Amino acid sequence: MMPENCLFCKIVRGEIPAVKLYEDDEVVAFRDIAPQAPLHVLVIPKKHLEGPAAVAVEDEQVVGRMMRVGNEIAVREGFPQYRTVCNNGAQAGQTVFHLHMHIIGGRSMNWPPG
């Protein structure tokens, strides 16, 4: 079930435009509208999962697909070194409560991240 007012579910349904870089039956990847680096892509499952803590055993394969797709896009875009970020909850920085993975590259990254 896709919540009606979930921003990323609206992108999956085609109700909100996005610059899509990849799409298949399970995942969609698109450019972030407020990029924090030369490469900033979001990879999301089409199935609505609220965040990393909502991933169940039956969802593990789609999370692996998200990782693979993120890597393929980063390499194709010329950024073989990148950071993968997946926030869980508001205190961790999650602002859209639909599982998503940020692929960020093209600049030096600091640790700890913030």
Q: Is the per-residue pLDDT at 1 higher than 90?
A: no
What's the DSSP call for residue 59?
A: G
CA dihedral 95, 101, 106, 110 (to 10 degrees): 70
Pick the catalytic residue from 40, 48, 98, 100.
100
Q: How far is CA 26 from the centre of its chain?
A: 13
Q: Is the per-residue pLDDT at 20 higher than 90?
A: yes
As beta bridge partners, residue 29 has 22, 43
Active site residue 48: no
Residue-range domain boundaries for the chain: 7-105
Q: DSSP strand E in the chain: where?
A: 20-23, 27-31, 39-45, 82-85, 101-105
As beta bridge partners, residue 102 has 42, 85
Per-residue pLDDT band for 113 (boundaries 50, 70, 90) equals confident
Q: Which CATH class is domain 7-105?
A: alpha beta
> What is the pTM for the complete model shown?
0.95
pLDDT tens per residue, range 47-72: 999 999 999 999 999 999 999 999 99
Q: Is the per-residue pLDDT at 3 higher than 90?
A: no
